[in-house]
Amino acid sequence: MRIITSIALAFLVLAPSSAAAQEQPPAKVVVSQVSEKEVAQNQAMIGTLYYDRVSRLSSELAGLVAAVHVREGDRVDRNAVLVELNTDILDTEIKLTETRIAQIALRIENAEKNLKRLERLHAQEGVSEKDYEDSLYAYQDLVKEKQAHQDILTKLQIQKKRSRIRAPYAGVILSKDVDVGAWVSQGKEIVGIASSRDLFVKVPVGESMLRHITIGAEVPVLINAYDRQLIGTIQAIAPVADAQTKNVFLKINIADQDDIAVNMSATVHVATSPARKLAIIPRDALVRNQGRTFIYTIKEGKAAILPVNIVAFLGKEVGVDNAHIVPGMPVVIEGNERLRPDQAVEVSGEH
């Protein structure tokens, strides 16, 4: 009798709570609409990130490293100074050559005055032909000597300019092989740099897939390390297939990323069939449960759950081929993670 009374009391306590749950206000959700367009079915392929344009910068001169302005991983602009060599000896040679040029200029000035005087005398037959020619040749020799020293000065100035190793393009520093105080010989590699505009994903695909691939086509790319969605462009197909697997590499250009490392992985969705009409829904609408994928739509003010079959990944959208997913259908893109089938909903926004 005591047990029956306890059960009855528990029922009386729980009944109001159950009723209160049924009377909860509708869940607020944000919706979007299903669209339709022609896209190709695609397949996820794992590729590798790499820079297609890499330079190993060397020193054209031998010298002592005076300054290093970069570290591995630094981003630099085109023409940025990366490494500087000590130019004390070069500066002295430049100054000495400039002094020699100034001295020769004074000698030329004097030789020119003497030549003009002898020209007047020669015209009046007041000086021998030999004296006149000797003066002329002396003047011309000084002019040539000055030009030779000016050429030497130009060479020294070029050497000084090249004692500063600059970035050939905007890029990222891959390696730094010298430091301040180190002696570098001519031709020694000192810095490795990659063009930030030439970041690619190299993706192996079966040769049978090439018929569905178009150069210049945009494809969804996922940087796996950061779960970051990007759009890449198919730039080229490698001209050599793997002899054993017959796979061919696609070269897919993506926007520069500050935090990637060469050889990191990326997932690329590559076309595997001709284009056909598919229902397009935002990826935010997808709900996964027990290995299956669903979406929530709204019917008569309540949440209705529908299974979806994804055949194409399109960046922030997916293409599905389910007959019950039709253009114009509302799909829940915010608040769907808390919904339950047949739960009352209130639309608070639409994207």
Torsion of CA 143, 145, 147, 150, to 10 degrees: -140
63-67, 126-130, 288-292: segment of lowest average pLDDT: 126-130
Same domain (yes/no): 36, 59: no
Measured CA to CA, the distance from residue 55 to residue 196 in angstroms comes to: 12
Q: Is the dihedral of CA 98, 101, 107, 111 positive or negative?
A: negative
Torsion sign (Cα): 261, 265, 266, 271: positive
Residues 168 and 70 both lie in one domain: yes
Radius of gyration of the chain (CA): 39
Q: Do residue 285 and residue 231 come from a single domain? A: yes
Q: Please tell me whether residues 72 and 98 are part of one structural domain.
A: no
Q: Regarding predicted confidence, which is higher, 275 or 169?
A: 169
**Which residues lie closer than 8 Å to 327 by C-beta, 6 or more apart?**
33, 34, 35, 36, 279
Confidence of residue 215 (pLDDT cuts 50, 70, 90): very high
The pLDDT assigned to 74 comes to 95
Task: Note the pLDDT of residue 6.
Answer: 37
The tokens for 310 are 């994804």
- Mean pLDDT for 6-22 is 39
- Judge if 63 and 182 occupy the same domain: yes
The separation between the first and the last C-alpha atoms of the chain, rounded to the nearest angstrom, is 60
Do 338 and 301 sit in the same domain of this protein? yes
* Region 218-247 average pLDDT: 93
User: What mean pLDDT comes out for the span 156-181?
Assistant: 95
In terms of domains, do 208 and 319 share one? yes
Rounded to an integer, the average pLDDT of 175-187 is 93
- State residue 320's pLDDT score: 95
pLDDT at res. 23: 54
Domain ends where: 150, 176, 195? 195
Residues 234 and 188 in one domain: no
**For 247-252, what is the mean pLDDT?**
96
Domain count, the chain: 3
Q: What is the pLDDT of residues 38-56, one digit of tens each?
A: 988 889 999 999 999 999 9
Q: State the pLDDT at residue 24.
A: 66
Q: What is the pLDDT of residue 106?
A: 95
Q: Does any domain span residue 15?
A: no
Report the percent of the chain where pLDDT is more than 70. Answer: 93
pLDDT on residue 87? 94
Kindly state whether residues 327 and 251 are assigned to the same domain.
yes
In terms of domains, do 63 and 191 share one?
Answer: yes
Query: How high does pLDDT run on average in the chain?
Result: 89
Average pLDDT over residues 112-121: 89
In this structure, what token pair is assigned to residue 335? 């608040």
Q: Which residues pair with 201 in a beta bridge?
A: 49, 252
From the list 242, 203, 197, 241, the residue with the least C-alpha distance to 219 is: 203
Q: What is the pLDDT of residues 268-313, one digit of tens each?
A: 999 988 888 999 999 999 999 888 999 999 999 999 999 999 998 8
23-40: pLDDT as tens digits? 568 999 999 999 999 988
Residues 6+ apart with CB under 8 A from 83: 59, 65, 67, 68, 69, 70, 164, 165, 178, 190, 191
CA separation (Å) from 15 to 9, 21, 24? 10, 10, 15
User: Does the pLDDT of residue 20 top 80, yes or no?
Assistant: no
> What are the structure tokens assigned to 231, written together?
């759009």
Share of the chain above pLDDT 90, in %: 75
Residue range(s) defining the domain that contains residue 264? 25-51+198-350
Question: Is the entire prediction scored with pTM above 0.85?
Answer: no
Residue with tokens 């709204």: 298
- DSSP β-bridge partners for residue 254: 199
Q: Is the pLDDT of residue 334 over 70?
A: yes
Residue 319 belongs to a domain with what CATH number?
Answer: 2.40.30.170
Q: Report how far residue 211's alpha carbon sits from residue 40's, in angstroms, rounded to the nearest whole number.
A: 12
